[in-house]
């Protein structure tokens, strides 16, 4: 009698990035002028702030958090709303020999993976708050990562060198 079970794939070798989990870590809505803000006809100015953070949580797993804050200010300075969402993901990142490659994965690939979920969370929160959702435009995380890396390198180069006496 022969064994007809399908052959098991060989364990993957080389660099791997595997998404383990995506979740909304934190979210908040503030409408400080409600309900009066809903009677105003002026259009608010929208400001969007974005931040990423990566933390090693052990066993080649990293939590990457994409934080987005959307603030709407009315003419005159009143805040129409402030919405903040921290969308996170856990990624298994292993097999990379160069730490700079891991940094690139965590700074570019992971935020690109998380962003659509964060965009949906922001739009949903805005709609639930009674406002027309803002469509967050795609973000070039690679350009932001390179800019951050260049600023960090410039700051390191400009830092005074301590001399022991």
Q: Can you read off the two tokens belonging to residue 6? A: 């399908």
For residues 43 and 37, what is the distance between their CA atoms, to the nearest angstrom?
Answer: 11
Band of pLDDT at residue 12, cut at 50, 70 and 90: low
Minimal CA–CA distance to 27: which of 117, 96, 135, 105? 117
What is residue 3's three-state secondary structure? coil
Q: Are 22 and 81 in contact (CB under 8 A)?
A: no
For the stretch 73-107, pLDDT in tens is 999 999 999 999 999 999 999 999 999 999 999 99
Q: Is 22-132 a domain of CATH 3.60.20.10?
A: no
For the stretch 102-160, pLDDT in tens is 999 999 999 999 999 999 999 999 999 999 888 899 999 999 999 988 888 888 887 67
Better pLDDT: 25 or 159:
25
Query: Alpha helices, DSSP H only, in 36-107?
Result: 99-104
HSE toward the beta carbon, residue 46, CA cutoff 13 A: 14
β-pair type (16-30, 45-58): unpaired
């Amino acid at each position: 009698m022969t064994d007809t079970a399908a052959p098991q794939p060989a364990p993957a070798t080389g660099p791997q990035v595997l998404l383990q989990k995506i979740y909304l870590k934190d979210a908040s809505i503030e409408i400080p002028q409600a309900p009066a803000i809903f009677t105003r006809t002026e259009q608010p100015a929208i400001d969007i702030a974005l931040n990423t953070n990566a933390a090693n949580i052990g066993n080649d797993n990293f939590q990457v958090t994409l934080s987005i804050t959307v603030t709407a200010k009315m003419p005159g300075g009143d805040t129409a709303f402030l919405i903040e969402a921290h969308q996170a993901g856990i990624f298994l990142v292993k097999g990379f020999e160069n730490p700079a490659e891991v940094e690139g994965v965590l700074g570019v690939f992971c935020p690109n993976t998380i962003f659509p979920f964060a965009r949906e969370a922001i739009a949903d929160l805005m709609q639930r708050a009674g406002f027309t959702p803002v469509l967050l435009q795609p973000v070039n995380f690679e350009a932001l990562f390179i800019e951050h890396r260049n600023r960090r390198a410039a700051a390191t180069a400009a830092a005074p060198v301590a001399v022991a006496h």
